[in-house]
Amino acid sequence: MRILERSVYVGPSQHAHFPVIRLLLDLGELEQWPTARLGPAFVDGLVAALPGLAEHGCSYREPGGFLRRMREDEGTWLGHVFEHVAIELQNIAGEDVTFGKTRSVDGRPGVYSVVYEYAQREEGIAAGDLALRLLCSLLPEAIRPEGSVPGDWSWEQARDDFIRYAQRRALGPSTASLVRAAEERGIPWLRLNAQSLVQFGHGKYQQRIQATITGKTPYISVELASDKEETNKILGSLGLPVPRQHLVSSQTEALKAASRLGGPVVLKPYNGNHGRGITINISGDEEIRAAFDAAREHSRSVIVETFQTGDDHRLLVVNGALVAATRRTPGHVVGDGQRTVAELVEIVNQDPRRGVGHEKVLTRLELDREANLMLERVGYTADSVPPPGEKVFLRSTANLSTGGTATDVTDVIHPDNRDMAVRAVRAIGLDVGGVDFISPNIAESYKSIGGAICEVNAAPGFRMHVAPSEGTPRDAAGPVIDMLFPPGSPSRVPIAAITGTNGKTTTARMLAHIAKMAGYTPGLTTTDGVYIDGQRTVEGDMTGPVSARMVLSDPHIDLAVLETARGGLLRSGMGVPEVDVGAVINVAADHLGLKGIDTLEQLAEIKRIVVEVAPAKRRTRGRNAPDACCRKPSLAPTSTPAVSAAPAASTRLRHRATRQAHRTGMTSSAPCAPRAIRRALLTTASCR
């Protein structure tokens, strides 16, 4: 069993209107071994490795349908099983993908076309590779392909490595929540790098974020928030509650600072984040020295500040308003008088909400160096048996990324504490900020019971708010998107996609020129380059997804014309999920013979993608084709154009676009197409 060919489609293609991977899978001799012949041991082993497969509906469209297919008298073939495994592997890594399709290839026994949805390219490819290895590992040795599974291979290790690999490439939970909020509002987005830099909107309407820092966040405010000492001084000068602190650069200075402050202290890096290097509630000289060394691993300077008793809270402020408040509890176990700390950790990690890194709502607890240090402070080891009801903390800070839990307290926060958080974020100058506030009771005013602001964070995490361990989830991302795109403001530019066999470059260039003469700043992709406002910026054949992204990322354009060649559609799909105007100007025999497209009917099926991605609910069509086949959703081979326009306008304007398309001579020949496309596109643009 081996993969013969792999194609990754970044946009609409002949297989789906969303990103998919298509593999050509050769089962070889395993074509004679459907799951029924492999027996219950194979199916049981697969379900043990991936329990989520029990929820796959398959053709029965109900949970358990896939297992039913595998256990039927005939069973199902491994190409089909491969499809489901590749999907489920992405599911366990935290991705919401469901689509798959497997078909045998005519004339090639044992060869299957396997198509499955993916959320991110590298993860989707890795899921296919791991699916192949997992299936081979479950086969009886007598029929297992030679060299398919290394001798020291472990499924559990491979699974966890895959999850970590996927998460290193996935959007973080905060960025992902912002993307979901944008999608809910119909705002397009593009990922600009392998981390968390994302563009919302197209062309001149675009806004960018990096995690939860927006393009409107002042640079000086981010720098100030990173400077814990200056933040403390600014907030203190405004009368806001802050702990007393000193900045030190040596163990000797740290001991002196702790002595001056008196009582328990906290040591933390001068400019750290995510709770790294922080040690709290210490007073002994040896503890202070060790805490200083831990903080120095993350910063050249260390802050020593008074320890504030109470619970750790994160207060999220967006655009001058508090939108969520969460009480955070460090990762811990609760003794039962019978089990060791190590056993209690295993029990806690069995919670289905806990996973690797940011895979799930909660993160697994780890008995690492920091956990062992916390245990030593209370005289325990991993083999100690805590008495019933005792909380044994494994972390000194309450970050979710180290196993902490979060409880939503937005509904009970005292108005004084709410106003305090808003004032603190405004004082630093952030549009999105998180206030770390220690308070004995968030429901009571800090003015009466005390409390202290430990930090003000730029790029605060949203996971604790959108998916708390307890309490009501809060929409932390929506207010950010509404700040960047107030209701009624534009985010999209009109997009025209032009395809056909002959004349598409000329048509696209004519349309871009007409748009420029009408006062727009067009971005154009063609077989001879990329043009921005009439000037060629990149030379070469630029008719695929890469050039489409290039145009839509340009901050100057307010209209896009994309020449869409059949080669790009076959290799990578379209570069955009939808267009306002899709035009097929002709379908002729000139370009047959690429990737299995050998007939005009097959070529028409590929070209029709350009028309299909104009959303049906907003679709109006003008056709010049007397052929009855052209009045169907698919396109018949013809020399005359078919146009689909989807103006984001009222019903009256959509009807006007239809009438204009019919009046432009579309009952004649292909050269008339530019006028039809022009009017449909400019009608769309005028409605923006």
DSSP codes joined into one string, 4-33: EEEEEESS--SS-SS-EEEEEEE-GGGGG-
415-428 and 219-226 helices, crossing angle to 10°: 110
Alpha carbon distance 587, 603 (integer Å): 7
* CATH T-level fold of 244-306: Dna Ligase; domain 1 (3.30.1490)
- SS3 state at 608: helix
Q: What per-residue confidence (pLDDT) applies to 684? A: 63
Is the dihedral angle over the CA atoms 575, 576, 581, 584 positive or is it negative?
Answer: positive
Between the alpha carbon of residue 48 and those of residues 43, 82, 391, 590, the distances in Å are 9, 16, 34, 52
Buried b (16+ CB within 10 A) or exposed e, 29-62: ebbebbbbebeeebbebbeebbeebeebebeeee
First to last CA, the chain: 52
Q: Is 517 exposed, middle or buried (0-12, 13-18, 19+ CB in 10 A)?
A: exposed
- SS3 state at 61: coil
Find, among 532, 607, 543, 618, the residue nearest to 579 by Cα: 618
Phi/psi of residue 434, nearest 5 degrees: -115, 130
DSSP codes joined into one string, 250-277: SHHHHHHHHHHH-SSEEEEETT--TTTT
495-686 has which CATH code? Answer: 3.40.1190
| Token pair recorded at residue 634 | 């698919």
Element (H, E) at 79: helix 78-92
Q: What is the pLDDT of residues 311-351, one digit of tens each?
A: 999 999 999 999 999 999 888 899 999 999 999 999 988 88
Q: What count of other Cβ atoms lies within 10 Å of the Cβ of residue 570?
A: 18
Distance of CA 524 to the CA centre of its chain: 28
**C-beta separation of 485 from 200 below 8 A:** yes
- The residues spanned by each domain of the chain are 2-169, 244-306, 495-686
**C-beta separation of 193 from 200 below 8 A:** no
Alpha carbon distance 451, 447 (integer Å): 8
pLDDT below 70 — which residues of the chain? 273-275, 355-361, 401, 591, 593-595, 615-688
Q: What per-residue confidence (pLDDT) applies to 602? A: 83
Strand 405-408 relative to strand 279-282: parallel, antiparallel, unpaired? unpaired
Alpha carbon distance 527, 540 (integer Å): 6
Between the alpha carbon of residue 635 and those of residues 122, 529, 565, 576, the distances in Å are 34, 28, 16, 21
Q: What per-residue confidence (pLDDT) applies to 686? A: 63
Q: Is 14 exposed, middle or buried (0-12, 13-18, 19+ CB in 10 A)?
A: middle
Is the dihedral angle over the CA atoms 162, 165, 170, 174 positive or is it negative?
Answer: positive
Q: What per-residue confidence (pLDDT) applies to 633? A: 43
